[in-house]
A and B are shown apart, each in its own frame.
Chain A
Amino acid sequence: MAKDKRLQGGLIERVLVRPELASVAGVVVVWGFFAFVAGDNGFLSLRGVATYMEVAAELGIVAIAVALLMIGGEFDLSVGSIIGASGMLLTILVVHFGWSLPAAIVVVLVLTGLAGWFNGFLVTRTGLPSFIVTLATLFAFRGLTIGGTRFVIGRTQLGGLQQSQGYDMIRPFLAGDIPIAGVSFPVSIVWWLGLAAIATWVLIKTPFGNWIFATGGDGKAARSVGVPTRRVKVTLFIATALCAALVGIMQSVAFGGADVLRGELREFHAIIVVVIGGTLLTGGYGSAVGAVLGALIFGMVRQGIVFAGVDADWFQVFLGGMLLLAVLVNHAVRRRILRLTT
C-alpha cells in the first residue's frame, strides 16, 4: 500500500538524502557571509584562506575518525586528552630522554593505539554507553598527562624539539609548509584531505564500511547476521585515537614542544563538526565528506570572526547556533530517509 505514493528515486531525491547536503549549504552560507562582512579585511585573501584551512585541517583530521566512530554508533570524548597526551609524551621522550624523533613517534602511536583499544575494550565488554566510558578516560588521560609530566620534568610545558635528532627529516611531512603564490599552506591540509579520501573509500567501497553502518544502525541486528560488531567498534576506537595522536604529534613538531593542556575541548568541537556534517548522533548514518565540510565551516567561523572584527566572546554563540541548526536539518533528513509518517 505504501508503494502507490512512492516515486521513482530520481537524482534530486538521491541528492536530498545525502548527509552532506546541509553542510554544503552551510559552507556556502558561512563563506558568503564572511566574504560580505570581512571580504575587504583579508578573509578572501590567500593568507586568509590558509588560516582557516589550517584550523579546519587540524580539527578535521580528528573529526573524520570521529565521524566513522559515530556512524558505528559510539562516541569518543577522550580525543582531546589523547592530543594532549601524545604531544607531551613525544616531547618528553625526545627532549628529556634524548630519543630520536622518529622512534618517539612510533612509540607514541603504539601507546595511543593502545589507549584507543582500551576505550573500545571497555565499551564493548561492559556494554556501558561510550559517552560515559570515554568521559572517564577524558579525565583519566588528561590527569595522567598532567601528573606524569609534572612528575618527570617538574613542569607543565616543554620545548626544544627543534634540536632533536631527525627533526629536520620529519618536519616537512608533519608540520611543513606548501607555498602557493607566496602564502604557505600547512601540510596538515594534505593529511586531512588524504584521510578523508581513505575514510570515504572505506565507508562506501569496503565490506568493513558496510559493517560500520550496520553496527551503528542496529548493532543487535548486525550481530545476528554475523557482523563482528565488537571488532568493528574496537577498530574504530583505535583509528580515532591514532588520528588524535597524529594531530598531537603535528602540533608538537610545528611548535617545537608541548604543554599539558593541548587539545582541550577538541572532543566537543569534533563531535559538533561531525554533526554539522550530517552524521546522526544515533549512529548508522553519515559521511566523512560531511565531517570535512563541518570542519571547514568551523575553521571559517573561528577565523572569520577575527576578520570580521567581532570579539571572540561571540564565537561560541555561533558554534552553538550552528550545531542546533545542523541537528534540526539532520532530523528532517533522517525523517526523509526513513519516511516515517508524522
Chain B
Amino acid sequence: MKRTSTPVLEVLSLSKAFGRVTALEGIAMQVFAGQVTALLGDNGAGKSTLIKCLSGFHAPSTGAILLNGTPTRFASPRDAIRQGIATVYQDLAMIPHLSVARNFVLGVEPTRGRGLFRRYDGRAADKTTREGLSRLGIQLRSTTQSVGTLSGGERQSVAIARAVHLGARVLILDEPTSALGVSESAAVLRDIEAARDRGVAVVFITHNVHHAYPVSDRFTILRRGRLLGSFVKEDVSRDQVLEMMAAA
C-alpha cells in the first residue's frame, strides 16, 4: 500500500492571503495515485480555500503546487480539469433538469454523422454512462431520468463516476458525505474505494473522522489555516486522529 514513488500532486509551503487576511499558511501535502488522502479539519480550518487553490479557482499567494513533480499553475478551473484534476463540490456540478446521461457526457458529447448532420448520439451517451457507472459498481434505475430525481447520494456517485470517466488523475471530493444518511454515505464511500482501486488519487475532504478513517491511507489535518500534521494510516489510530481533531 505504501508507495515511495513521486506523488501525483504535491503542495509545498503554500500560503493564500485575501488582502490582509491570511487564510492558509505553510501548507504541505502529498497525494498519491491509488490512495485516498483525507483532508481533515473543523469548519474554518481552510479546507475549502486549499481545494480552491488545487482546482484552479484561486492562485496561491506563495508556495508551489507540483503535478507529477513538476511545478504547475492553473489558469482556470477548466485548465485544472484539462490537467487531470477533477473536483466534485458539495453543491454538485450537475444540471438538475438534464437526464443522467446528458449530464454525464456534458462538455464531451458523443456525436454521429458529419457536417450539417453531425448530431448528438443519445445511444452512445447512454452506453458511456452505463459503462461509467457500472465500472464503479453504481446502480441506477435509468439513465434517462433527470438528475433532479436522484437522491443526494446518487448524485455524488454519478459525479464521481463522471470524473473518473473523464480521466481524472486526481479526484477532489468536497464533503461528499456530509449531507447524507447512513446507507447513502456507505454507498459513496464504496464509490471512493472503487475510484481508488482504479488508480485515481482521491482527496477526501471531510470533518467526519468516522467516514474518513476506514477508506483513507493518509491524513492531512488543518487547523486555523495551518498544517497540524500529515500522517500515514499505519502510524496513527482512529482515536489519535479524533483527538487531534478535537484539539483543533
| A residues apposed to B, CB below 8 Å | 1-3, 6, 8-9, 17, 201, 204-207, 209-211, 213-214, 217-218, 220-227, 280, 284-285, 337-340
Contact = CB atoms under 8 A, between A and B. Distances in A.
Identify the interface centre among B81, B149, B151, B183: most chain A CB within 10 Å of its CB.
Answer: B149
A3 B93 CA distance: 22
Nearest to B76: A223
Contacts of B118: 206
Interface in B111-155: 111, 118-120, 141-142, 144-146, 148-151, 154
B94 interface: yes
A337 B148 contact: yes
Contact of B120 (A3, A209, A220): A209
Contact of A337 (B89, B97, B142, B181): B97
Contact of B149 (A8, A280, A337): A337
Contact of A214 (B95, B120, B150): B95
A205 B148 contact: no
Identify the interface centre among A207, A214, A222, A340: most chain B CB within 10 Å of its CB.
Answer: A207
27 contacts: A1-B181, A1-B184, A2-B150, A2-B154, A3-B151, A6-B141, A9-B142, A207-B120, A209-B120, A210-B106, A210-B109, A211-B107, A213-B98, A217-B98, A218-B93, A218-B95, A220-B93, A221-B95, A222-B95, A224-B93, A225-B81, A225-B162, A226-B108, A284-B96, A285-B97, A337-B148, A338-B149
Contacts of B77: 223-224
Contact of A206 (B92, B94, B120, B149): B120
Contact of B95 (A8, A204, A213): A213
A265 B111 CA distance: 40
A204 B106 CA distance: 13
Given A2-B154, A3-B151, A209-B120, 20 more contacts: A1-B184, A2-B151, A6-B149, A9-B142, A207-B120, A213-B98, A213-B102, A217-B96, A221-B92, A221-B94, A221-B95, A222-B95, A224-B87, A224-B93, A225-B81, A225-B93, A226-B108, A280-B97, A285-B97, A340-B148
Contacts, number: 98
A211 B98 CA distance: 10
B102 A210 contact: yes
A8 B144 CA distance: 11
A205 B95 CA distance: 18
A210 B110 CA distance: 11
B237 to A, nearest CB: 33
A272 B50 CA distance: 46
B149 A214 contact: no
A6 to B, nearest CB: 6
Contacts of B238: none
Contacts of A210: 98, 102, 105-106, 109, 120
A6 B142 CA distance: 11
A222 B149 contact: no
B184 A222 contact: no
Contacts of B98: 210, 213-214, 217, 284
Given A9-B142, A227-B107, A1 B183 contact: yes
B43 to A, nearest CB: 22
B149 A227 contact: no
B78 interface: yes
Nearest to A284: B97
A218 B89 CA distance: 13
B109 A207 contact: yes
Contact of B94 (A1, A9, A218, A280): A218
Contact of B106 (A2, A17, A225, A337): A225
Nearest to B151: A2
A205 B97 CA distance: 17
Identify the interface centre among B89, B95, B154: most chain A CB within 10 Å of its CB.
Answer: B95
A199 to B, nearest CB: 14
Sorted from nearest, which 7 A-B pairs have the closest CB atoms?
Answer: A207-B109, A338-B148, A217-B95, A226-B107, A221-B93, A2-B151, A205-B119
Contacts of B151: 1-3
B95 A206 contact: no
A218 B155 CA distance: 15
B97 A222 contact: no
B177 to A, nearest CB: 15
B144 A9 contact: yes
A6 B149 CA distance: 9
A210 B111 CA distance: 12
Given A222-B95, A223-B77, A338 B146 contact: yes
Given A207-B111, A210-B120, A339-B149, A227 B97 contact: no
A9 B181 CA distance: 25
A17 B108 CA distance: 26
B120 A205 contact: yes
Contacts of A1: 151, 181, 183-184
Nearest to A226: B107
B106 A338 contact: no
Contacts of B184: 1
Contacts of B78: 223, 226
Contacts of B102: 210, 213
A9 B184 CA distance: 23
B51 to A, nearest CB: 13
Contacts of B149: 6, 337-339
A273 B105 CA distance: 32
